[in-house]
Structure 1
Amino acid sequence: MAKKSFYIFTYGCQMNKNDSEIMAGMLINECNYDQSAKPDKADILIFNTCAVRNKAEQRAFSRIREFNGLRKKNKSQQLLILAGCIPQYEKENIFKEFPYLDLVIGTNTLEFLPQYLLNKQAKNTIKIEESKNTKQSATQILRSSKDQAWIPIMYGCNNFCSYCIVPHTRGREVSRKKEEILTEIEKLKAGSYKEIVLLGQNVNSYGANLYTDYDFADLLEDVHRFDFLKTINFLTSHPKDISLKLIQTIARLPQIGREIHFPLQAGDDEILQKMNRGYTFNDYKKLTLLIQKWIPDAKISTDLIVGFPGETDDQFKNTIKAVKELGFFRVNTAAYSPRKGTAAASMENQHSEKIKHERLLLLLEAVSKYAFNKD
């Protein structure tokens, strides 16, 4: 009898990519499934979704409708499973739009997938938890790369930036024990892995809910002792939590990657305050100068949002000025996308899509002209 097979559509960030690797590992090792090269040939389809922006949601929804149509047309028994960030905040409401889904699991309940498949549970099953139980972290992962590995060190976020859905989709911050992290990295030695990326919504707050005398800088020290690793990167950092200790630690350790990504999001202080970012543009600028002082070869990259509610022309121009002034090695740009349940979604003076698009084009022009100036 032929093995059953699966196919995973992955949308969104590195954390979602890692979640897909975890689900693939569970399906192969616990359920004895094979990975299909073609979604229409798979016995189960998993849509691992992103909710950060509306466009990401709509891409996933379009695919779900497409394959449900094919399932009906072909009278197939293919299972449709929705996973990731969308079900984490939509919960049971998702069945109003997609009543034909077989299983819905959130970002914190991936481990329920084998249980559902092995026990042949009912249609419209849903399993959501508000925060991650790190004791259930997967041990068998089907990594998509043979030389780079994602290593989650923490889950969730406590910052509640007014535009961001992540605290609602990933829950509160929970750090993994350092022993679990180091053991996962140690296992990579048997393969050909030379690079790892330490993952967290805000890696700088690693350990805050777990230790009193051990933080992210200490973890980097321990990880750096694995001599088979050539490069150690990390994502993402919050500017308000980058400490001098962390900067000095990175400066001392040659295997730590020199691209340091910490999102500015806007170049105007009033917009930063409305975003609940916890710093001013001058704070951010001082931090970049401090990093460059201790790490002369640092490559500072950032994220910027335009069209935030109430953003005036002058406030938008301050973001353009920030790009000119700081130069940045790399810039991820986006037009503001209102997310249900966030503070910014209910703010007054929401901009039209036309204005947001115009400002995004102007920002991209500035980035092209003034950024990418560090080798």
Structure 2
Amino acid sequence: MKILVTGGAGFIGSAVVRLAVSRGHSVVNVDALTYAACLENVASVADSPLYAFEQADICDAAALKRIFDTHKPDAVMHLAAESHVDRSIDGPRAFIETNIMGTYEMLQAARAYWTEAGKPESFRFHHISTDEVFGSLPDDPAVKFTEETPYDPRSPYSSSKASSDHLVRAWHETYGLPVVLTNCSNNYGPFHFPEKLVPVIILNALAGKPLPIYGDGKNIRDWLFVEDHADALLLVVEKGELGRSYNIGGENERTNLELVKTLCGILDAKRPKASGSYADQITFVTDRPGHDARYAIDPTRIRAELNWRPSVTVEEGLEKTVQWYLDNETWWRALQDRQGVGERLGKAS
């Protein structure tokens, strides 16, 4: 299968690219190389005859037409997006442009290509989204997001992703474009850009800086190891039912405070401080506006229909992640000077 992956130099996209190439798929990586992208993320496959890279903005209709006509993909995996909630609070326009208008241009380009090719039944447009479109859950373990949960986005980021989900469904219903959708829980793992919680905690801990936790640290997330997510995404694009959505979760709910303490414990074991614990650096900071209390995925559909489950627990995945950051200092140091990294964003005066 030849797969066109948008955002393939980003965190989740690069995991998909690496895994797809390793499984023998041809991959065309389309990425604008904005602040959070890094071609080092796909360096391990860059010389493969199965890999091609196109630097292009998904809002550029002419570039997309050229790429589709040149590479003739069998499937699209659309991951390119602005994804940092705090940045969306400070600058929502980029999220509207990339996540909504970019998805519109991708759908139009894919539809034109699919139509001109005679509408092959094997073609797929896989839209990758987030559980944040569903809003916030109560603190009740029995209540989780399903594919039928009504949308209730609370941030510029999640509302832009909700909009893109609706566009994809509309292109399926109105134009017959063969689509599948997925909504995932919080990802973590190697190559995570150092502005999100897990890498911030690891790198601040190593630097002797405060470990910032929003509010009281009781916000709950379902944590999904990025390589497990990439595995699920490839399964959905190959075997998912057309027009159907699948929720992908790690089945690993933790409060933010529990997660940070787990990271501190792993670091204490792998690179102990001269005295005390990394947990001594934990600092509670003013919460961000509209901070959702809890996300949790009910993965029944993808388990029942596609026989998929995550392969690692959050403890196993975090240990792998910490070790990766310890072993790849050159990678993350090169990113720490990029705009906004290390700053407190999303305070919304």
After TM superposition, is the score higher than 0.5? no
Class of the TM-score when normalised by the shorter of the 2 chains: 0.3 to 0.5
How does the TM-score come out when normalised to structure 1?
0.36
Say which one has the larger Rg: 1
Q: Which one scores higher on RCO, CA 8 angstroms, separation ≥ 6?
A: 2
TM-score (norm 2): 0.38
